[in-house]
Amino acid sequence: MSLPNPLPLLAKAPVVPVVVIESLADAVPLARALVAGGLPLIEITLRTPVALEAVRAVAAEVEGAVAGAGTVIDRAQIEASLEAGARFLVSPGTTPSLADAFTQLDVPVMAGCATASEAMRLAEMGFEVLKFFPAEASGGAAFLKSIAGPLPHLRFCPTGGIGPANVADYLALPNVLAVGGSWVVPQDAIRAGNFEKVRALAAAAAALPRAARLG
């Protein structure tokens, strides 16, 4: 089975900001700062009451942004996210029913996994790029390095516990296309309206080198 591949999206930047929007008014200026800094792929997590409206606003109003929905855990959230304009979906883990729903979509999905067995099952269903979550708690860069040999066909976007101190370890791996991270969107900066700080953090993240072949 051939599913929409997230690779072309992940080729846009080495870091996918993992965003929690508490106030809808922050969504557009935050996304504009990320795009200006060179991080156009934006995962807006469905963890707050305004998350879907934030996806809608970014998708409609921010030129250059590729708005996606994260923390997608059921079919209702899939439908709501796509209706809001999400151009990609990300899940923290993948149940059989969620995986089945994902295979019916025409948008890229990064289905979540935390073990080799989970990754293998998703690969059997046609998923080629997976979210590895929670990355640090599940073995980190060492885990991904260790499974590159037996599972050379899989690529990952690890998320969870990744920041300036360890991001280079992940991006140095040939099976890591990009990483997800919240360090580029610190909540204190968002609450203070300091979107210039976000732009600067995004610019630094966008300049990070990565080893994975994206072509």
Check: pTM over 0.95? Answer yes or no.
Answer: yes
195 vs 190: CA distance, rounded Å: 7
| Positions in the chain short of pLDDT 70 | 1, 215
pLDDT at 1: 59
Tens digit of each residue's pLDDT (9 = 90 or more) over 75-119: 999 999 999 999 999 999 999 999 999 999 999 999 999 999 999
pLDDT at 91: 98
Which residue in 22, 43, 61, 128 is the catalytic one? 43
CA distances from 3 to 101, 106, 151, 163 (A): 12, 8, 19, 30
pLDDT at 126: 96
- 43 belongs to the catalytic site: yes
Which residue in 83, 118, 131, 196 is the catalytic one? 131
Measured N-to-C along each axis, helices 27-37 and 51-61 cross at an angle, to the nearest 10 degrees, of 50
pLDDT at 2: 76
Residue 38 · residue 202 · CB < 8 Å: yes
pLDDT at 214: 83
pLDDT at 114: 98
Residue 163 · residue 141 · CB < 8 Å: no
Q: 7-206 domain in CATH 3.20.20.70?
A: yes
**Annotated domain spans of the chain:** 7-206
Element (H, E) at 51: helix 51-61
Residue 91 · residue 73 · CB < 8 Å: yes
pLDDT at 213: 83
- 136 belongs to the catalytic site: no
